[in-house]
Amino acid sequence: MTIDEKATERTRARYQRIAPLYDAMEILAERRYSSWRPRLWSLAQGPKVLEVGVGTGKNMSYYPDGAEMTAVDLTPGMLERAKKRAAELKVAVNLQLGDAQALAFPDASFDDVIATFVFCSVPDPVLGLTELARVVKPDGRLLLLEHMRAGNEVAGTIMDVLNPAVVRMTGANINRRTVENVQQSGWQLEQVEDMGMKGVFKLIVARRAK
Ligand SMILES: C[S@@+](CC[C@H](N)C(=O)[O-])C[C@H]1O[C@@H](n2cnc3c(N)ncnc32)[C@H](O)[C@@H]1O
């Protein structure tokens, strides 16, 4: 599997444009997400935890006490905002630029890898999820909150039609098959929980496949 450099650059450029507006754009959605985030983070056991696609750092308030936190993002403008938030909240986190599809960490570096609303925009989600399985320890876990293609065929087909326009506007694909992508990427599903909109939003827990 090789990285599609052009698609990755397009994703970075979109989020670089969106970065100054991201928190404002998400205000309404955040009402829904703000109860889901602590729930996901309560499942992280650590001690070494990697957050992928940290964005502007909206998860930082929920980082587990005592965890050794590392967080990466593809987009400099998002990472700058995350650094500012970490300083404001006095959160200890090693923040780095990084691509989920090719991480600069040795194999088996982390106990948990965690991401919220990221695999809708990683250009090759299977490549990214496979890379997460590489950097997690043999018994390590993947914790995700994601939106994905609706299971209902009519709604799913509408999402397929709208997807190109939504990607151009927001950087996010609305028709990813994220549960299937996780299963194809070296992970064994442990928990898939519908969080809302008839399963469009899901909390996913998976363990690195033996
Ligand atoms: C919708 S935002 C979510 C940000 C944050 N996780 C949150 O919950 O608010 C998606 C983030 O994923 C990042 N991203 C997209 N592709 C990535 C990749 N290949 N590697 C790392 N980060 C990526 C974007 O730069 C952006 O910050």
Q: Among 2, 27, 61, 73, say which to mutate for ligand 1: greatest number of ligand atoms within 8 Å of CB.
A: 73
Question: How many residues appear in the chain?
Answer: 210
Question: Cα–Cα distance between 124 and 35 in angstroms, integer?
Answer: 29
pLDDT on residue 196:
84
Distance 1 CA to ligand 1 centre (A): 21
pLDDT on residue 126:
97
pLDDT on residue 1:
74
DSSP alpha helices (H): ranges in 26-90?
27-41, 76-89
- The reply to whether ligand 1 has any atom less than 6 angstroms from the CB of 52 is yes
Segment 188-196 long-range contacts (CB within 8 Å, at least 24 positions apart)? 190/141, 195/36, 195/145, 196/32
- The reply to whether ligand 1 has any atom less than 6 angstroms from the CB of 173 is no
Q: Among 74, 129, 143, say which to mutate for ligand 1: greatest number of ligand atoms within 8 Å of CB.
A: 74
Question: Cα–Cα distance between 80 and 119 in angstroms, integer?
Answer: 21
pLDDT on residue 199:
82
Distance 123 CA to ligand 1 centre (A): 11
pLDDT on residue 169:
84
Q: Which domain holds residue 156?
A: 5-208
Number of structural domains in the chain? 1
CATH number at residue 177: 3.40.50.150
pLDDT on residue 99:
98
Question: Does residue 47 have a cis bond before it (omega within 30 degrees)?
Answer: yes
In order along its 210 residues, the chain shows pLDDT tens digits of 799 999 999 999 999 999 999 999 999 989 999 999 999 999 999 999 999 999 999 999 999 999 999 999 999 999 999 999 999 999 999 999 999 999 999 999 999 999 999 999 999 999 999 999 999 999 999 999 999 999 899 999 999 999 999 988 888 899 999 999 999 999 999 999 999 888 899 999 999 988
